[in-house]
Chain A
Amino acid sequence: MLTANEWEVVQLSVKVALWCVVVSLPPGIALGWLLARCTFRGRLLLDGLCHLPLVLPPVVTGYVLLLLFGRRGVFGPALETVGIDLAFTWKAAVLSSAVVGFPLMLRAIRLAVESVDPRLEGVARTLGAGRARVFATVTLPLAAPGVLAGSLLTFARSLGEFGATITFASNIQGETRTIPAAVYTFLNQPDGEAAAARLAILSICLSLGALLASEWMARRLRRREV
């Protein structure tokens, strides 16, 4: 059904989306917990900064990433000396879709942590568990459906990421050409319409599946609350 070329595009997209979830999870869980459980100076600002990619044009996000992590960007030379070259590689595609998808991940985890009764954590502490153990044995397991829902949502968002990726990671076949970039490319070719349609249908199916799974997890979380 798909040509080898298109198949490569799909594989790359899934790989980028999976890595996007993997790199967003640790900061997502840490910041989600921080925003749900702690009050500190600058909390509102941090919250705003984390949600900024949700409303910013993705092209602008990509441009900012280029300014920060590009070869001539602020951190580019420093990264290059330790052997990390992001720009125009699939890792750059991961970074840009992770930044754009991060607010979705953060919001889901934060809501999930907020739904855990803090008194359960208090009881766990009086029973002899330190903060870290309480988090690992009580908070995280109870928030797990929310964490999973957030991961699925981020996965779906990453599959659809175009603007930031094409700005920061470009559109290089076999390296950074994900499904949206490929559809865009095929549409610009005189005989590419059939390929674009095939990829578009596949894209719809993948995204819808991830969204439904995410919604199902979120529902499970809500049900347990009542």
Chain B
Amino acid sequence: MIEVRIQKRLEPFELNVDVSCRYPVTALFGPSGSGKTTLLQIVSGLMRPDEGEIRVDGEVLYSSSAGVDVPPECRRIGTVFQDSLLFPHFTVERNLCFGFELTPPPDRRFTFEQVVDLLQLGALLDRRPATLSGGERQRVALGRAILMSPRLLLMDEPLASLDARLKERIMPYLRHIRSDLEIPILYVSHSVSEILQLTGQVIVLEQGEVLAHGDFFDIVHQPGVLHVAEAHGFENVLQVEVVRSDEHSGSTVVRFGEQELKVPLCDRPPGSRVFIGLRANDLILSRTRPQGLSVRNAIFGRIESLPEGRGTQLVTIDVGKRIVAEVTREAVEELGLMVGDPVVCLIKTHSIRVGGDVE
């Protein structure tokens, strides 16, 4: 349980946050310069707020009224940043051991070998950070933070500097940390699809204020939240099960709930579970299943809400899971779409992105 109630004057606004989160992963979401990174710095102890209180699992780390300010080295809060910030003068092994050796043995929750195995760092131990690739660096940074047995991990866009393929490869490690190591995570990101692969719990920050806090699909209706999510192209993320692959037609059939989808050919065996991404503006809505179209996928659902985007109309649809479609306002008017109406979502196979494996 993380409880943060702080104020900090910044230029050009004031960071004013009062939240408590009890979920394994809470995502901090918001435009650049909304105060996300500052908030992480304050929680880690590297920056002092003007006033307020910070508690983790009931322990007071900062309290302006009680005069408590635990220094960062005593907070046991791990950090992972976009640029991994490895110590350039140490080998990978010494980087990993830096926090581990400073953690008293009774407080250590993981062994060195355990973390090296989990993140597959064995082959890198003697290398210098300058010789590592971006993905390798982030894995080392993750390992270094985990090895100090933190009670909370702060991640500031840990995948932002990686290309899409590398992101998919690091994501399973993050899910491992969340599910197997049981370290709570505060996760800053711009990317809705990245966040939704880890958690549904989101805190939306804008101009230093908490705009919304809660389950992403519950708060996505709010106008302020949507334009933040839209800014980077809203992408739905679904967990699906591979049914069969057909090399001849170049597609793989996947199932979620009762419905089936054709996605670009992927090499996973039937029965394996993967994430897929559907961009909100790649979805086409129809009242009925049309004939004579090249589109391979039609999924059926019911309209849940019609929040307004910036210049566009967003439609949240229950298709067994909630997804968001982005269409024009005229389209909604012409089709006469109302909350509760049944609707067909059409998706081209090749606009679907197949992501990483679900553990």
Contacts and interface: CB of A to CB of B under 8 A. Distances in A.
Q: With a 10 A CB-CB cut-off, give which of A125, A129, A224 has the most chain B CB atoms.
A: A125
B78 interface: yes
A126 B81 contact: no
Contacts of A138: 87
B85 A125 contact: no
Contact of A127 (B45, B71, B88, B98): B98
A120 B144 CA distance: 13
A40 B237 CA distance: 51
A128 B103 contact: yes
Given A126-B44, A127-B144, A120 B85 contact: yes
Interface string B146-180: 00100000000000000000000000000000000
A124 B98 contact: yes
A122 B89 contact: no
A126 B46 contact: yes
A122 B79 CA distance: 10
A139 B87 CA distance: 10
Contacts of B45: 125-126
Given A123-B79, A124-B98, A125-B46, A130 B73 contact: yes
Nearest to B102: A128
Contact of A125 (B73, B81, B88, B89): B73
Interface residues of A, number: 18
A128 B81 contact: no
B77 interface: yes
Contacts of A80: none
B73 A129 contact: yes
Contacts of B81: 119, 123
A128 B76 CA distance: 7
A72 B289 CA distance: 105
A117 interface: yes
A126 B85 contact: no
Contacts of A124: 87, 98
B72 interface: yes
Contacts, number: 56
Nearest to B147: A127
Interface in A110-147: 117, 119-120, 122-130, 133, 137-138, 141-142
A119 B78 CA distance: 14
A126 B98 contact: no
A48 B17 CA distance: 42
A128 B99 contact: yes
Nearest to B103: A128
Contact of A123 (B85, B89, B103): B85
A137 to B, nearest CB: 8
Contacts of B44: 122, 126
Interface in B27-81: 41, 44-46, 71-79, 81
A217 to B, nearest CB: 15
Which among B78, B87, B148 has the highest number of chain A CB atoms within 10 Å? B87
Interface in B81-111: 81, 85, 87-89, 98-99, 102-103
Contacts of A137: 98
Interface of A: 117, 119-120, 122-130, 133, 137-138, 141-142, 224
29 contacts: A117-B85, A120-B85, A122-B72, A122-B79, A123-B81, A123-B85, A125-B71, A125-B72, A126-B44, A126-B72, A126-B73, A126-B75, A126-B77, A126-B78, A126-B79, A127-B98, A127-B144, A127-B145, A128-B74, A128-B99, A128-B102, A129-B73, A130-B71, A130-B73, A138-B87, A141-B89, A142-B88, A142-B89, A224-B88
